[in-house]
Amino acid sequence: MSKILNKENLAPEIDLFTIDAPLIAAKAQPGHFVIARASERGERIPLTIVDYDRDAGNIDLVVQAVGSSTMEFCSLEVGDELLDLLGPLGEPIEIKEIGTVVCVAGGLGVAPVYPKAKYLKKAGNKIISIVGAQTEEMIIMKDKMEDISDEIYFSTDDGSLGEKGFTTDILTALLEERADEIDEVVAVGPAVMMKAASEVTADYDLDTIVSLNPIMIDGTGMCGGCRVTVDGETLFACVDGPAFDGHAVDFDELMMRQTHYQTQEEKAKHNCKIDKEVG
């Protein structure tokens, strides 16, 4: 059982949890994820390891209450325990000195971008961050991103923070002005954003790492539910990724596969809300 040591609300319906998980913390690297389950009836939820403290034996996870299982997860409080926590899973990204890395994070994508940016910074890289969300209120981990960035830009749909528009607008402008200075781009967020960011960087032939979030169950390569097409080949995001070359990913297929259970999810969420109201 994995105890919740700390819980911090980051934005409406988005919480950061610090979990006691010494074995996972000992092995965690940027890019790794875990599969968590709050209770017996809940789904197995893949969550990126946002940060880890090997000495203390803790890992940080960010959860957005969007479906019935994540809503249940977010109802947990400090002292509660997760029923299941498995990890670290997936392949970590390579951390080395490259030069200047642009880190683009859309919405909840800050959670997977942060550890990559943090350790790339530690490895001696210059970090230019572009962080976007619908509104200022929905921008998460702003201070942490500022701490590890040499330069940081924000975008919001309503202009409440930074530029009004999308992260890719800022990325496009940045590349138009200073593409020569930039050696690599890391872009994580909704699939549509990662697709757009990869299209922008393709024009400059800039290496672009994305981190995919398909539907998963076991997270160990057993079910194939998370299969994605990369460079024409079917790969399993859970064991072959979740980080891939953004220029090789079939994002349209990913987006299509992410809708597989939309109808069922609405039903489960509806039931969950009824449970809450009745119970």
Partner 1 sequence: MTERQQMKKQKPEERINNFKEVACGFNKEEALAEAERCLQCKNRPCVDGCPVEVPIPDFIDKILEEDFDDAVDIIKGKNALPAICGRVCPQEEQCEIECILGKKGEPVAIGALERFVADFDLDSDKEEEINSVEAKGVKVAIVGSGPSGLTAAADLAKLGYQVTLFEALAEPGGVLRYGIPEFRLPKSIVDEEIDYIKQLGVEVKTNVLIGSTLTIDELREEGYEAIFVGTGAGLPYFLNLPGENLNGVYSSNEFLTRANLMKAYKFPEYKTPIVTGKNVAVVGAGNVAMDSARTALRLGAEEVSIVYRRSRNEMPAREEEIENAEEEGIDFKLLRNPVKIIGDGDGWVKELECVKMELGEPDSSGRPRPIAIEGSNFTIPVDTVVIAIGQGPNPLLSKKTPELETTEWDNIIVDEETYETSIEGVFAGGDVIGGAATVIAAMGDGRKAADEIQAYLQGKNE
Residues that bind partner 1 (CB under 8 A): 23-24, 27, 37, 41-44, 67-69, 72, 83-89, 217-218, 220-225, 227, 229, 234, 239, 253, 256-257, 259-261, 264-265, 267-268, 271
Q: Which residue has the tokens 């994508």?
A: 109
Q: With respect to partner 1, which residue has the nearer C-beta, 9 or 259? A: 259
Rounded Cα–Cα distance for residues 44 and 35 (Å): 6
Q: How far is the CB of 246 from partner 1 (least distance, A)?
A: 18
Question: CB 224 → partner 1: shortest distance, Å?
Answer: 4
Task: Kindly tell me which of 134 and 229 has the beta carbon lying closer to partner 1.
Answer: 229
Shortest gap between Cβ of 267 and partner 1 (angstroms)? Answer: 6
Q: State in angstroms the smallest separation of the CB of 59 from partner 1.
A: 12
Is the Cβ of residue 24 or residue 182 nearer to partner 1 in the bound state? 24
- 34-65 burial, b at 16+ Cβ within 10 Å, e below that, comes to bbbbbeeebbebbbbbbbbeeeebbbbbbbbb
Q: Shortest gap between Cβ of 265 and partner 1 (angstroms)?
A: 7
| 18 contacts 191 by C-beta, under 8 angstroms | no
Q: State the nearest-atom distance from the C-beta of 21 to partner 1, in Å.
A: 10
Q: Which is nearer to partner 1, 60 or 72 (CB)?
A: 72
The two structure tokens encoding residue 63: 């959860």
By the 8 A CB rule, do 257 and 214 touch? yes
Nearer to partner 1, 173 or 272 (CB): 272
> What's phi and psi for 262, nearest 5 deg?
-50, -50
Dihedral angle at the C-alpha atoms of 72, 272, 66, 258, nearest 10 degrees? 110
How many whole angstroms separate alpha carbon 54 and alpha carbon 276? 37
Rank residues 164 and 267 by Cβ distance to partner 1 and give the closer one. 267
HEC readout, 69-82: HHHHHHCCCCCCEE
Which token pair is 25? Answer: 């913390």
